[in-house]
């Protein structure tokens, strides 16, 4: 992953500064043309951390549920979850809390602002969350924040691709471990 790829996917474009959540201030580089600018140096570093978490989770036999019901996220969530063989939700999160069993060991939220119900449900279950977090979203309760634009399909697709790659690499590691055992 390179700085140029993040720029091309418009990952750095935040929301209007007056809509920025105070919890995201440490991840903002500044303001330009009436929009908050996300600090891509931090995004690069935090993508690496999230990648490592997902890799290790899957290498240890864990499951990651991809969630993204916003218009820019839906297609990327489906495509990349299917590619790496993980479950996904891209239409709507159940409206009521239920006693449904947990389907994943961790959750990847591509649009946590749009999927607030999903986020609240996962936080209540005390399960880890990896998320693409835009400037206007509260990062509280998210274990691995990936600061970036969740309003553009290119950005959502790029981050989904990276997380799906981490899943695939984690599976390869699990296979390697089994072969050595």
So where are the chain's domains? 3-180
Is the pLDDT at 22 greater than 60? The verdict is: yes
pLDDT at residue number 102:
61
Q: What is the DSSP letter of 143?
A: S
In the structure, what pLDDT confidence band is assigned to residue 99 with cuts at 50, 70 and 90?
A: very low
Contacts of 37 (CB under 8 A, 6+ apart): 12, 13, 14, 28, 29, 30, 31
> Across residues 42-46, what is the average pLDDT?
97
pLDDT at residue number 93:
79
The pTM assigned to this predicted structure is 0.93
Per the prediction, the chain carries an average pLDDT of: 93
- Per-residue pLDDT of 61-98, as tens digits, reads 999 999 999 999 999 999 999 999 999 999 987 665 55
Short-list 150, 157, 103, 112, CA closest to 130 = 112
Q: Is the dihedral of CA 18, 24, 25, 27 positive or negative?
A: negative
Lowest mean pLDDT among 44-48, 89-93, 110-114: 89-93
Lowest mean pLDDT among 22-26, 51-55, 96-100, 152-156: 96-100
The tokens describing 121, both together, are: 């449900």
Question: What stretches of the chain show up as alpha helix (H) in DSSP?
Answer: 3-8, 40-59, 71-84, 116-124, 153-180
- 7 or 103: which carries more pLDDT confidence? 7
- Pairing mode of beta strands 106-109, 129-133: parallel
pLDDT at residue number 101:
58
Contacts of 21 (CB under 8 A, 6+ apart): 135, 136, 137, 138, 139
Short-list 120, 17, 127, 113, CA closest to 63 = 127
The tokens describing 45, both together, are: 């570093």
Helices 153-180 and 71-84: crossing angle in degrees, nearest 10, is 20
Residues 134, 147: Cα–Cα separation, whole Å: 6
Short-list 140, 151, 144, 146, CA closest to 21 = 140
Chain centroid to CA 128: how far?
11
CATH topology of domain 3-180: Rossmann fold (3.40.50)
């Amino acid at each position: 992953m390179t700085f140029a790829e993040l720029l091309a996917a418009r990952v750095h474009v935040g929301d209007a500064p007056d809509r920025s959540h105070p919890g995201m201030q440490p991840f903002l580089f500044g303001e330009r043309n009436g929009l908050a600018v996300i600090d891509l140096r931090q995004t690069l570093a935090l993508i690496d951390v999230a990648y490592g978490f997902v890799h290790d989770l899957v290498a240890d036999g864990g499951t990651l549920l991809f969630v993204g019901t916003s218009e820019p996220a839906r297609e990327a969530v489906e495509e990349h979850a299917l590619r790496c063989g993980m479950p996904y939700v891209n239409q709507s999160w159940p409206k009521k809390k239920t006693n449904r069993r947990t389907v994943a060991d961790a959750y990847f939220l591509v649009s946590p602002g749009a999927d607030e119900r999903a986020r609240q449900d996962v936080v209540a279950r005390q399960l880890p969350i990896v998320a693409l977090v835009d400037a206007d979203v509260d990062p509280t309760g998210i274990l691995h924040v990936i600061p970036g634009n969740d309003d553009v399909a290119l950005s959502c697709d790029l981050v989904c691709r990276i997380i799906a790659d981490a899943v695939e690499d984690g599976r390869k590691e699990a296979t390697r471990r089994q072969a050595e055992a």
